[in-house]
Amino acid sequence: LTVVAEDGAPARPGEIGEIVAEGANITRGYWRADEESQFSFRDGRLHTGDLATVDEDGFVYIVGRGKDFLKCRGERIACQQIEARLLECAEIVEAAVVGVPDETLGEAVKAYVVAKRMDEGLVGRLNAYWKRHLPPHLIPRQVEVLEKLPKSDSGKVLKRALRAS
């Protein structure tokens, strides 16, 4: 296993990179899934999609999935951290965050929220709250209020479904 930075070089201690696996025990691709294989397998190595850091001694610490991070202003930001901040607003019972393309930031925050009570002024109140409690680049550029978030059988939010909507 290697943790590699975006330029393909090994990540420096403390730098977030992607875990890449290689060796005789790694398959050459996904069974009958050429498109997925092309995305995940490059140069004979499996790009796992898991993000991690490495310490000075070479120990690897997983910090999350690549798809659950935003790349905003050149830095990776965990969607989970933004979601936790959004949920500090008493009007919200659930929140999910995904990245949307932004010319200036790279990716901007799009929030899907489930509110305790829905009314016409909700989004305005949420935006006012977030402006007081979040740095400008993490304030959701887009907000969708849903009755419920799409979830898997195990209760995990299906962000892929949110991105497709």
Element (H, E) at 114: strand 106-115
**Average pLDDT of each block of 10 consecutive residues along the chain (165 residues)?**
91 91 87 79 86 92 80 83 92 94 91 94 94 92 95 87 87
**Whether the model pTM is above 0.75:** no
Amino acid found at 112: Y
Return the pLDDT at 59: 94
- Rg (the chain; Cα; Å): 18
CA distances from 15 to 3, 22, 61, 78, 153 (A): 9, 21, 11, 14, 34
